[in-house]
Chain A
Amino acid sequence: MIPLFPIISRYPFLKVAAKVFENLKVEDEILKFPEVLEEAKKIVELSLEGKKFERKYLKVDIICSSCDEKCVKCRSLGNFENCNFCCNCFKNCKKKLPEEEWKFEAKRSVLRYVVTRSLASQLEERERMRFAVVEASYYADLLKSESDAVVKLLASDFGLKLRSWNTHVVSYVRASSRIKSPEWRLINRKISLGYVRTDRREVERIIVEILRSKLMEKTPTLFELKIKKKRKLKEFEVEHGNVEAKFFPPCMKEILIQLKNGLNVSHSARFAIASFLLNIGMKVEEVVEIFRTTPDFNEEKTRYQVEHIAGQKGRGVEYVSPSCDTMKTYQLCISNCKVNHPINYYRKVKKSRKEKSEHV
């Protein structure tokens, strides 16, 4: 087990962590780690503001990768590809390692994770989604700096079948069916004898996607802690020359509020709001700014896509924002406004309000 402790300290959500600490009595142990409660609370609170909580962990890589000892006959030894976590290799480990210190750190991390999940379970679904997005992106960053062996160990722990960095189609669609971008669709992929061609970066993304949906799930309540939440989501205020947010239809307002609050907004919603704002006269640069608050913001990509929608790239024609029917299909329609297009709502409301104020 010992070589696993540093990994568990970084990734306490692993199934193997639950196996290593299967008899952990959270309620008792927590008394020995009083700071864990505060940290867990901090993690959840910060996530609601779209911020990550940086935590301490053991930076040691799996020592097996650099060890010559053939402690056990196993195909997964050292690289952890499709490892089944029998842990026999670790049982024979004769290296002199700071076992107590490592175990202590790993346990602390597992406790913090269990408490964090328990706290997050008390949030509303929308907030829990934000928590999951922010936490998953914390681990996504951490994963980037890991050795190949650690990434494969995580993949094995998540039940992902890999062959070198290629992913078995069943493991692949577990993640890809949740990712709304064309390059992830199975149909746009190279696939041979059950394995989809992927690289390490994509395997990391698959792990993170599955982790995100796992973090969305509720766990039993262990502690009732008061989570500080901003009672109301920040309202969206924008005045850009002629564009006035107060005249926007409810569907577009909702998307803007979600964006402003750092929620992970679907691809179709992003397209809808971007094309809508461009259609009513906002500049590309202003629209890009709107997306700055998203958890996965990438300025270059965003600008490219907004320019594309504006017709400055690709086919050279500005896209028309989705009609009410289309918005309904995407489940983005949240009200019955009695118009057939969000743009019409905007024009109508703007006109009638303007007329009113002129006549008063």
Chain B
Amino acid sequence: MNKLFLEKKFKDYYIKNKIDLPRYFEKREFAFVPITSQHFTMQRHLAFKSYQEFKSYVLRNVPAHIYYSSAYYLKPDAEKMDEKGWIAADLIFDIDADHLPVKLDFERSLKLAKKELKKLLIVLRKDFGIKDDEVEVYFSGSRGYHVHVYSEDFIKLNSQERKEIVDYIVLNSPDIKFDSNVSERVLKYMKKYSKSFEEALEKLRIHIDSPVTADVKRLIRLPGSLHGKTGLKVVKVEDVDNFDPLTDSVVFGEERISVRLLSNVNLRLKDFKLKAKAGEVVSVPEFMAIFLICREVAKF
């Protein structure tokens, strides 16, 4: 019943909305997890030549999750990875609240993730010289942000080379005896706040999920698709400061629906605040109901 409801709602979304497929989508691998799948089985190694082809696939097997490869391949639908023929891959950064050093509630951890995002964007612009029109930022639909870099210079980097960039971003054991940007920043911070070297590193490091950036064959959540664990949209962040993930990613309607809570909930989506205990039956807007059902904290 819950799955059928979600399937219907997700399908409606994909019928009514056009999804802008990523650049060179014909050269990328797509992967899906259908809503009806029992154990998160992923259907991989798919490729599409047109938007129509993609759309009809999605409507036939309504997905809870849609991914595409950061890599461009000669044969994106080859079953074996080494037969795909790697050409290049977007440089991806994943800022996930789960990888932050503190554990907070949904809303506050997203605020923290945004702070990291802003730190990252400054470094990408100032140090790496990446121009604003070569970067796109997406809310992941759940606990963080994805940063996609399309610059022709960067997409050719291999994994080992990307690790150099990762080390730079996460401040992996810098040696401050060298005259470098990092030692300059670390020493300045230590002096200004009279903190230790380790404290300065912890404060200045940007918490990205390192393996994602180093991986040149990663599957990334498709912009414009819905996150099956929240029902929120993977939405482009145009204005970082004014972006509110818990409003701007909501796609479903306001119509009231009654659901029974399976655990305590304290949450805001758009302007709707819900604070209730497990076992209660609450009447909430559709978008909130879908969020709760996706998270498996409520059912009809």
Contacts and interface: CB of A to CB of B under 8 A. Distances in A.
Interface of A: 161, 168-170, 173-174, 176-178, 182-183, 185-195
Nearest to A186: B164
Interface in B117-136: 126-130
A189 B177 CA distance: 11
20 contacts: A161-B153, A168-B153, A169-B129, A170-B153, A170-B154, A170-B156, A170-B157, A173-B157, A187-B167, A187-B168, A187-B174, A188-B174, A188-B180, A189-B178, A189-B181, A192-B129, A193-B129, A194-B127, A194-B129, A195-B129
A188 B175 contact: yes
A176 B178 contact: no
A189 B180 contact: yes
A190 B183 CA distance: 9
Given A176-B164, A194-B129, A187 B182 contact: yes
A187 B126 CA distance: 15
Contact of B161 (A177, A187, A193, A195): A177
Nearest to B130: A194
B160 interface: yes
Contacts of A185: 164, 167, 174-175
Contacts of B126: 192-193
Q: Give chain A's interface secondary structure class.
A: mixed
Interface residues of B, number: 28
Nearest to A195: B129
Sorted nearest first, the 7 A-B pairs with minimum C-beta distance are A194-B129, A193-B129, A188-B178, A173-B161, A186-B164, A170-B153, A173-B164
Contacts of A188: 174-175, 178, 180, 182-183
Contacts of A182: 175, 178
Nearest to B172: A187
Contacts of B128: 169, 191, 194
A206 to B, nearest CB: 13
A186 B167 contact: yes
Interface centre among B158, B163, B178 (most CB of A within 10 A): B178
Contacts of B165: 169, 173, 186
B238 interface: no
Interface in B12-46: none
Contacts of A170: 153-154, 156-157, 161
Contacts of A176: 164
Contacts of B82: none
Interface centre among A161, A169, A174, A186 (most CB of B within 10 A): A186
B160 A177 contact: yes
Contacts of A174: 161
A194 B152 CA distance: 13
Nearest to A174: B161
B186 to A, nearest CB: 11
Given A176-B164, A194-B128, A194-B129, A187 B157 contact: no
A163 B116 CA distance: 31
Contact of A183 (B161, B168, B178): B178
Contacts of B127: 169, 191-194
A191 B181 contact: yes
